[in-house]
Structure 1
Amino acid sequence: MHRARLASTTICYTPELLHDELLYSWLCRLAILNAWGTGRDAVRKIFGGRTVTPSLTLPTHFDAMNERYAGALPHDSFAALMEASTLLPYHRPFLDHERYAQLMEDSRSSNSLDLKLRLGLVANRFGINTPHRFCPACVAEDIEMNGCHYWHRQHHLPGVNCCVRHSLQLQQQSVPKEGLFGQPLMYPGLPSGEECITPECGFQFRFAQLSADLLLAALPPINNADRSNVYRNRLSAKGFQSSRRSLDYQLVATEVRHYFADFANFQHQSRLLQTARSPLRWIEDLVERPDRSLHPICHLLMIDFLFGSIAEFSLAVDAERSSREATRGSAHAIPRGETKKSLQVPGLEIEHLLRNPSLSCRQIAQQTGKSVGTIVKYRRQRKIEVKERRKFVGAQTRTSIGHDLLSGLELQSIALRNGVSVQTIYRELAYEKGTKLHRQRSLFMAQRTSRRDRWMGVLKTPGVEGISKARSLGFSDYAWLYRHDRSWLLTSNAQYRKSVSTRGTVNWPARDQELCSKVLTRMILLLRAEPPMRISVARLCSGLGQSSQWRRDKLPHFKALLSRFSETPESFRIRRVNFAIDFLVQRESDIKLWKIQRAAGLRIWPADLIAYAQRRINEHT
């Protein structure tokens, strides 16, 4: 039975795995080229069951595929297949060795949701369902070079919305639903023919390039402690270390927001900024809680801010790993019974060393186990002269840096103008608290002026009428101004608010007289109706238009007529009885109560109504 099932799914043609192609895309082409279709039947032939949901970026059930088609897969090795056709190399550097091994084991049999749960993608709230994206220019190149187009790995990296190769915005293809088990295999369609859009934000392209570099770097799993130390050391080198040797994460968050311009137009902006009480909390988690599973997007943003490239980050990790191994090898150098903490110099002795002019900062650093930058910082805080050397920043350069910081220039521009590193600029900014405050104020004023100008430009745009339309176009500027410059915003918006048309003054006496005449006409028509209908206020006003429902307090005569002509249920029943008696009198000489009840068509006959009908019968007999 099992052999017959395998024979029914024999592969007639096996395509090659193309450059940067996802395994999901290769399975789509395999199913189409072998005339299996792309629905649930193709899924059954590939995985052996219709309930398997193929994952776009992190495929699973490798053992099931390998058992059915041993030797037909693009790679014989499971590790090589995951390396070449999935996004696993993108996630791997931020996993420890134990978690990565468990992840590889789960990929053989578990479903994709279990895999994403283990990676922490569900808890991170960055989204777990990757949309199907493609670049129109890449589609044209693929068809020209390979005769077909396919899904690319780099187009499906989280948070990426532009093509690194062509600098074009990616287009998204909708996913149809089939049955109860989600999406089937879906082959990429052709571009819609719309004009290709180039992303306006340079951050989007830089982030896409950094994500692609991480995917292609194929970094191994990084020890959590090594990664945390790399982040901590680089932040300390940039001057974010406080006087207590702890990192000032509030200052780091401020600089990160300024560096990335509050992640404007980024699809995960709200998730990254989080709340005002704890902005960019993930930065502290990256350093202080390395065991926590954070999305690679957070790591990439930190790498961009601290290192600028994946290559520099990889070198820093290698150096940290080598340092840790060297420290572990020389652990016997510490005397027995003592720890590193017991070898630290007491605070009073550090103070004595700092005020000893015969000792250089480097000598004090060697004796105390602290960095040279920390000793220099301590001495400058105590107004102790620090001897300048050729490799350090001189007084004239420091003054120039201070002026540039107050002017609000970018830190990288200041470093280029003064011929120093960006780390030196961060260090100088940390030394001078007054300069930092003045710079923050200067940057705030510059940002306020820029956002004011952009918002006024939106208000003056042709075709924009009203504040609601302007907010839909300049929502980020409006939100920032509403939070930081509300009084100016409300004052400026007052003259651009959409004017509300005012109606003319109503001549209420004339309208009252007009409605009275109409209700009299309506009353005559209702009295002539056969069989009789109850004359209610709603029926009297039904043909008079909506104006009869408005402001009846200004229509006294009309209101009085409605109250006078409207019938109660009791009076309406009496009128129906009279109509029935008159109808029977014209056609019959013998009038009975049951005949009146049938002709009147009333369901409710109270005792007083029966008595009234009986009196009318007696009058005619």
Structure 2
Amino acid sequence: MVLISWWYWMADLLDQLALLDWLPEETLFSLVSRLHRLWGFPLAGQTCMALFGHPQQGAQHDLPSRLATLVSRTNGRLGTAVELARTRTLLAYYAPFISTQVIDAAVASMASDSVAHLKLKLGILTSRFRANHPLKSCPQCIREDVERHGWAYWHAPHQFPGVWVCPAHERWLQVSSLKSTGVGRFHWVLPSQSRPRPQEHGAGLVANESIEMALSFARLVVDVTSNIDAGTYTASLLEGAYRRRLSEFGWIGEGGRFRWSDISESYCRHVRTLVGCADIPDDMHDRERVAVQLGRMLRGSRSGTHPLRHYLIIHWLFADFNTFTSSVEALSATALSESRSLKSEKPYRSQSAVGDKRHAQLRELLIAGQCTLTGAARTIGIDVATAMAWATKMNIPVLRRPKTLKDDVRNQAIGMLRSGVAKADVARQVGVSIQTVTRLLLTELGLHEAWRDSRHSAHRNRYRAVWQELVHNYGAAGVKILRAMEPAAYVWLYRHDRDWLNEHKPRLKSAESSRNANRVDWDSRDRSLSHDVRVVAERLRLPL
């Protein structure tokens, strides 16, 4: 109680303590660290108590809490809570890519007594990027800051994830071993006190090329954070910009399909020299994972995405800030023009409505016999293969002019497909491409349904046999163990044949029968052992 009262007494002296002015690009944590050193308090909690009204809360170096208390105790001389949160903390890094509602909620959380769950709401904890933000500094900046200002302090741009090189001096930043590691978690430290160490670069970095890439990437991050207002880059706007750029590179087909092989190869090649930097996961060069991650961001809006994912895509597609902003501005202008045109000229038609209309047109043309399939496809503006697939779905026979699939090869392929043979196996045995087999499946009446039913039956029979064998041999182990032994069989049966699976699960013994089975009749065991001892004693002729 005496110590707490003393802290409150120190807080009352705040009006008599000198405050410092902001230095260029300085963070809030840096300013308070300089005040702590200026005031000479022996304990970090004393400075924290004087400014934030608590011995620990408010000491976060990235997203601090109790900003409202700080503003009140300094009479607003350092700025408002909104200004501090948006410009002097790492919220400035996340702001361009999140909505204004999320930003307002984040500011309110940082102004309150607790920032619990804030990193989760910002999408940091679920992003697969690291959630801690290590303090970083440039040795050359430290020397120049001491000469110009008399202080070595923390620069905000250096703290942004993805910034590994000082944009001003083009050299690798040093990383502090304090705060983000849990060491000195509630301390106030400056770069000269932070135990700096060189960054650990992974094997993916090539000396000359990588520092150029890292420098270019750092400048992109700093330019976006410094020049773009909070909430500007909505998910739909970014998705449109990415799609437009991919289309310019020829990586989106006429039907809107992504050429994932080319896209993932180009992306992996671009980020390969960055893999090994602390913020970049090692699997960012894995094509399959990359295709999945990019697909999530290019197929509909996605909230809570870490800015690093956007920065990597922007750097890959646009290279620099000016090219990206020009593309976004052009996209916004085009969208506005199209919106005005649609409102003034004709009502909006959804893609599904257009598709339904084309289906009906194709059906009318083919049934009326007005033109061939090729002519009908040309009339309504679709590919001939697409017209064949649509006609097959509508049960309209299609006249074929075989080029690759002659009658004997075609009949062999159809027979194999009706038996449920995989498309790749059919293509290999008859000597055609998988695309040709797929086209045959989609354009032969009833073939796709027969192939799907046959494969379903084959999977069902195989997995049923596997499960029955497991139950027969290891049923006493229980469902959980059996599921771990053959997860594919269990999952397939659970999804497609659940009633049969429930009927063929191993029967568990009741608790009462288990207890009875394990019960030992100690009296009977004692009598048996006593008899055995007497028999052995008589044989040895030992008196009892």
TM-score, with structure 1 as normaliser: 0.51
Cα RMSD over matched residues?
Answer: 3.9
Shift of 1:115: 2.1
Take 1:52 and 1:253, find their aligned partners in 2: how far apart are those partners?
44
Paired residue type of 1:211: V
| Counterpart mapping for 1:5-24 below 5 A | 6-24=11-29
Take 1:15 and 1:338, find their aligned partners in 2: how far apart are those partners?
60
Does the CA-based 8 Å contact 1:149-1:188 persist in structure 2?
Answer: yes
Other-structure match for 2:263: 252
Does the CA-based 8 Å contact 1:24-1:55 persist in structure 2?
Answer: yes
Return closer, same or farther for 1:258/1:249 CA change in 2, 3 Å cut-off: same
Paired residue type of 1:59: P
Structure 1: tracts of 5 or more residues without a match: 357-366, 369-374, 380-432, 434-621
Take 1:352 and 1:212, find their aligned partners in 2: how far apart are those partners?
55
Take 1:61 and 1:233, find their aligned partners in 2: how far apart are those partners?
43
Does the CA-based 8 Å contact 1:274-1:280 persist in structure 2?
Answer: no
1:71 matched to 2:76: yes
Other-structure match for 1:88: 91
Does the CA-based 8 Å contact 2:243-2:298 persist in structure 1?
Answer: yes
1:45 matched to 2:68: no
Other-structure match for 1:273: 284
Question: Which of 220, 239, 243 matches 1:210?
Answer: 220
Return closer, same or farther for 1:273/1:35 CA change in 2, 3 Å cut-off: same
Does the CA-based 8 Å contact 1:307-1:313 persist in structure 2?
Answer: yes
Q: Secondary structure of the residue that 1:137 maps to in structure 2?
A: helix
1:98 matched to 2:101: yes
Does the CA-based 8 Å contact 1:57-1:153 persist in structure 2?
Answer: no
Does the CA-based 8 Å contact 2:170-2:215 persist in structure 1?
Answer: yes
Does the CA-based 8 Å contact 1:177-1:183 persist in structure 2?
Answer: no
| Counterpart mapping for 1:507-522 below 5 A | none
Other-structure match for 2:131: 128
Take 2:86 and 2:138, find their aligned partners in 1: how far apart are those partners?
23
1:184 matched to 2:183: no
Does the CA-based 8 Å contact 1:257-1:263 persist in structure 2?
Answer: no
Shift of 1:84: 3.1
Shift of 1:16: 0.8
Other-structure match for 1:62: 67
Other-structure match for 2:326: 315
Q: Secondary structure of the residue that 1:172 maps to in structure 2?
A: strand
Take 2:166 and 2:181, find their aligned partners in 1: how far apart are those partners?
30
Return closer, same or farther for 1:232/1:81 CA change in 2, 3 Å cut-off: same
| Counterpart mapping for 1:113-124 below 5 A | 113-124=116-127
Q: Secondary structure of the residue that 1:189 maps to in structure 2?
A: helix
Other-structure match for 1:299: 310
Structure 2: tracts of 5 or more residues without a match: 201-205, 366-372, 385-434, 436-544
Paired residue type of 2:60: S
CA deviation digits over 1:132-189, x for unaligned, max 9?
2211110010011111110011211113222111111212222179999933221221
| Counterpart mapping for 1:319-338 below 5 A | 319-333=330-344, 335=346
Question: Which of 236, 239, 246 matches 1:225?
Answer: 236
| Counterpart mapping for 1:66-465 below 5 A | 66-73=71-78, 75=79, 77-109=80-112, 111-175=114-178, 182-189=185-192, 200=208, 201=210, 202-221=212-231, 222-261=233-272, 263-273=274-284, 277-333=288-344, 335=346, 339=350, 341-343=352-354, 346=358
Does the CA-based 8 Å contact 1:169-1:196 persist in structure 2?
Answer: yes
Does the CA-based 8 Å contact 1:97-1:223 persist in structure 2?
Answer: no
Structure showing greater Rg: 1
Take 2:194 and 2:183, find their aligned partners in 1: how far apart are those partners?
29
Does the CA-based 8 Å contact 2:58-2:66 persist in structure 1?
Answer: no
Residue correspondences, number:
361
Other-structure match for 2:505: none
Take 1:30 and 1:292, find their aligned partners in 2: how far apart are those partners?
38
Paired residue type of 2:175: Q
Shift of 1:18: 0.6
Take 2:197 and 2:68, find their aligned partners in 1: how far apart are those partners?
42
Other-structure match for 2:411: none
